[in-house]
Structure 1
Amino acid sequence: MIGRVAVLAVAAVTLALPAVLDDSSLAVYVLLGLAAMVTVGVSLLMGYAGQVSLGQGAFYAIGAYTAALLALGGAPPLVGLVAAPVAAAVSAMVIGTPLLRLRGHHLAFATLAVQLILLSVTGQLEFTGGDIGLQGIPQFGVGSWEASGAAAYAYLTWAGLALVILVTRNVIASRPGRALRALATSETAAASSGIPVGRYKLVVFTLSAAFAGLAGGIYCFYTGYVAPGSFPVLISIQYIVMAVVGGLGTVWGALVGAGAITLLVQGLDSLATLPGMPSYAPSVLSYAVYAVVLIGMVLFMPQGLVPAVSSRLSGKKRREPSYR
């Protein structure tokens, strides 16, 4: 009962905020929702399948470019938005089939290489606009309705996030979700129980990519512009930090982590643009703070903010086995 009340309260605040925020705050609000959308997939991938991907930014970019190219080609924006997660999911399925044979840091570096290759290729191709990118992307709209302001995109973003959360919760509560929980505990034990480990890893990898692609599709319509510089490697690291800070394998953890890191990044950007700060300050501050945050979380809250707070509130404390 308390959980439902909390969900309704959060939903009410979410719907009310676009009406009271100014344009600059709405921009942060939209970016926060997009980051949360991707982070839910990262949390699912790392928390259940145990796979570390440093290439979620690549699927974010694939979704953005897919929607942008279709919209600029004359297709209805809704078609572009629907195609964005599909294109990202298909790409993940093709890429993941060989890559998911790798584990640990080998997989992380391989997915990072995928993003670097994608950025290099899109910067060279003519139909993607090269390094300049694609400009003049039409506003999102359905029929005669058009999203003409930041508030409309805020509602669109959070509607997309609600869809992502609904799909994730249904997956976790389903029979495959129980298999995923077994997979997260021990791949060897899961395989010995008859669970197709490789297939489930690929499905989760594909689903997380679809979430990133949906976020990318909304992003391209919101900004009206996409380029390789819109999807730096740092953005993939940022999603990892968000998932770890909030708590892996939890939907609320992804939301809390995305909110905390997005607000932190905005604060760092404001600090880095103060008079007298060098031009390289934003990137240096971001990398340094991400490192400090990750080290702090691993040392003091290895499970993440949401599991740690939930444990404190419920009064449950972890105990070491006594073996007596």
Structure 2
Amino acid sequence: MRRHLPVAAAVALVLALPPLLSSSHLAVFTLLGLAATVTVGLSLLMGYAGQVSLGQASFYAIGAYTAGLLSVHGAPTLAGLAAAPVVAALSATVVGVSLLRLRGHHLAFATLATQLILLSLLARGEWAGGAIGLQGIPRLSIGGYELAGDLGYAYLAWAALGLAVLVTANVMASRPGRGLRALATSEVAAAASGVPVGRYRLAVFALSAAFAGLAGGVYAFYLGYLAPGSFPILLSIEYVVMAVVGGMGTVWGAVAGATAIMLLVQLLTTIGTQPGMPSYAPSVLSYAVYAVVLVLVVLFLPRGIVPAARDARIRLRR
């Protein structure tokens, strides 16, 4: 019973907090839930499959454009939201068959190239609105109830995060989850024990893309407008930093890392938009601070915030 108290407290906080927030803080809260949803999948991919993806925002974009395009062309908005993670997972499966044969920085740069290609296609494709963007995306309607206010999308974003956490927890508690833990320890030993390494890595890659696609679908209906500039390379780097800072391979590490980095992003945006600062200041500050944060975490908290806190708690009990 005591083991579930932190989870119950977190759920109560998420339910009680949104009505108390201002409109600007509510927007940050919503985007935080979406970022944490993407990071849960990326943390699973990096922590258990041992693969670094620098193009996770591409699956975020695929989910967003899938939901947006379907709804703009007359499909029910709920169907568009349901299709977003499916199309993202299928895209990851098709791409992953070739990409996951690579290792290390080769795979990282290949995923980065995938996002660049996708952004180029979206910017040039009239079917996606081109560089101007996809406009006129309707509000999400669930059972005849239209989510018109930011409060509803805040709850929806964190419901998506809850679903991602629940799916991840069940996957890790299953037999494939034990195979993934063996894969994280040693790929050679896992293969020798009968774990289908290639199939499991592809499955995790697709699952992480599905989480990103689900978050992208919520994002599309939340903003009602999509453009290639909404999914820059910097966004993928943010997700990697979130996963590393919070702790790879841990569900709550992804949430903690996303929270820490989102607050840092807001601080950097505030500093970079001060009078007298150049227009490129927020991007330059972000790249610089991300590099510093990664170096500090690798040096002093190599396993991330949540594993370090867990180890400290165990030492205190002893």
| 1:235-274 correspondence runs (5 A) | 235-274=235-274
Structure 1: tracts of 5 or more residues without a match = 318-324
**Is 1:217 matched with 2:217?**
yes
Offset from partner CA, 1:261-293 (integer Å, 9 cap, x none) = 001101110111111111110000000000000
Structure 1 length normalisation: TM-score?
Answer: 0.97
Query: Matched residues in 2 for 1:180 and 1:262: separation?
Result: 29
SS of structure 2 residue aligned to 1:127: helix
Offset from partner CA, 1:42-93 (integer Å, 9 cap, x none) = 0000000000011100000000000000000011110000000000000000
| 1:270-309 correspondence runs (5 A) | 270-309=270-309
Query: Matched residues in 2 for 1:3 and 1:292: separation?
Result: 35
**Is 1:232 matched with 2:237?**
no
Query: Matched residues in 2 for 1:219 and 1:164: separation?
Result: 16
Aligned partner letter, 1:227: A
Query: Matched residues in 1 for 2:2 and 2:267: separation?
Result: 33
Aligned partner letter, 1:213: G
Query: Matched residues in 2 for 1:290 and 1:157: separation?
Result: 25
**Is 1:44 matched with 2:44?**
yes
1:35 matched to which residue of 2?
A: 35
Structure 2: tracts of 5 or more residues without a match = none
Aligned partner letter, 1:262: M
SS of structure 1 residue aligned to 2:53: coil
2:139 matched to which residue of 1?
A: 139
Query: Matched residues in 1 for 2:291 and 2:209: separation?
Result: 25
- CA drift at 1:136: 1.5
| % same residue | 68
1:111 matched to which residue of 2?
A: 111
Aligned partner letter, 1:180: L
Aligned partner letter, 2:103: R
1:68 matched to which residue of 2?
A: 68
Structure 2 length normalisation: TM-score?
Answer: 0.98
Offset from partner CA, 1:226-284 (integer Å, 9 cap, x none) = 11000000000000000000000000000000000001101110111111111110000
- CA drift at 1:143: 3.1
Query: Matched residues in 2 for 1:106 and 1:38: separation?
Result: 22
Query: Matched residues in 2 for 1:202 and 1:5: separation?
Result: 34
Shifted more, 27-36 versus 270-279: the winner is 270-279
1:311 matched to which residue of 2?
A: 311
1:321 matched to which residue of 2?
A: none
Which consecutive aligned stretches of 4+ in structure 1 deviate over 2 angstroms post-superposition?
Answer: none
Shifted more, 270-279 versus 237-246: the winner is 270-279
- CA drift at 1:316: 7.4
Query: Matched residues in 2 for 1:136 and 1:24: separation?
Result: 23
- CA drift at 1:2: 3.2
Aligned partner letter, 2:60: Y
2:17 matched to which residue of 1?
A: 17
SS of structure 1 residue aligned to 2:88: helix
1:8 matched to which residue of 2?
A: 8
Aligned partner letter, 1:160: A
2:93 matched to which residue of 1?
A: 93
Query: Matched residues in 1 for 2:112 and 2:251: separation?
Result: 24
1:190 matched to which residue of 2?
A: 190
Offset from partner CA, 1:78-110 (integer Å, 9 cap, x none) = 000000000000000000001100000000000
Query: Matched residues in 2 for 1:310 and 1:192: separation?
Result: 31
2:123 matched to which residue of 1?
A: 123
Offset from partner CA, 1:191-232 (integer Å, 9 cap, x none) = 111111000000000000000000000000001111100000
- CA drift at 1:299: 0.3
- CA drift at 1:162: 0.7
Offset from partner CA, 1:286-322 (integer Å, 9 cap, x none) = 00000000000000000000000110011079xxxxx
- CA drift at 1:3: 2.8
Query: Matched residues in 2 for 1:16 and 1:236: separation?
Result: 30
1:175 matched to which residue of 2?
A: 175
